[in-house]
């Protein structure tokens, strides 16, 4: 799976407005609804699934990265969105540092292996400091998408 295949420019927020994790999660879900990737009627259910996952343990994994994710019957394929915050978002991260990069994804409920592979691929991708630097300096959604396209492992 190539991470860039999960995103389009419409699913990327170059500068998030949110200051904390619940606002950030809702901001990205709103963009996915606007992009037609999630049905508006499914938004409450998807937000509830993401919130349930977050309450188990924050998906702020450190290094300014958060990967909120959930399984849902509301999607038939992996749906993802990306948000960047230069100022940082309070996410209750494992390292207690603000989050600058958020990749949110929802996987069909019956695709556990896809869920694990997607999570691992995103974590590995964002673990690369060069990738984070390029994402941080990208000027707009198209440039952010280009980083995902050029840097994503293929396979």
Q: What residues are annotated to the active site? A: 69
Choose among 120, 128, 122, 44: nearest CA to 80.
122
CB 71, CB 46: distance < 8 Å: no
Spatial distance between the Cα atoms of 54 and 126, rounded to a whole number of angstroms: 19
Question: What residues contact 54, with CB distance under 8 A and at least 6 apart?
Answer: 21, 22, 25, 68
Spatial distance between the Cα atoms of 40 and 32, rounded to a whole number of angstroms: 9
Task: Name the one residue in this structure whose structure tokens are 């259910």.
Answer: 45
């Amino acid at each position: 799976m190539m991470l860039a295949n999960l995103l389009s420019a419409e699913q990327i927020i170059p500068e998030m407005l949110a200051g904390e994790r619940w606002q950030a999660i809702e901001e990205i879900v709103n963009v996915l609804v606007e992009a037609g990737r999630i049905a508006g009627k499914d938004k409450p259910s998807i937000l509830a699934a993401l919130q349930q996952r977050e309450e188990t343990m924050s998906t702020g994994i450190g290094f300014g990265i958060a990967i909120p994710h959930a399984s849902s019957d509301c999607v038939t394929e992996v749906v993802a969105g990306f948000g960047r915050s230069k100022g940082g978002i309070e996410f209750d991260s494992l390292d207690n540092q603000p989050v600058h990069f958020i990749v949110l994804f929802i996987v069909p409920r019956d695709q556990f292996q896809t869920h694990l592979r997607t999570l691992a691929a995103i974590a590995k991708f964002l673990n690369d400091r060069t990738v984070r630097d390029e994402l941080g300096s990208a000027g707009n959604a198209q440039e952010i998408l280009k980083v995902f396209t050029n840097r994503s492992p293929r396979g």
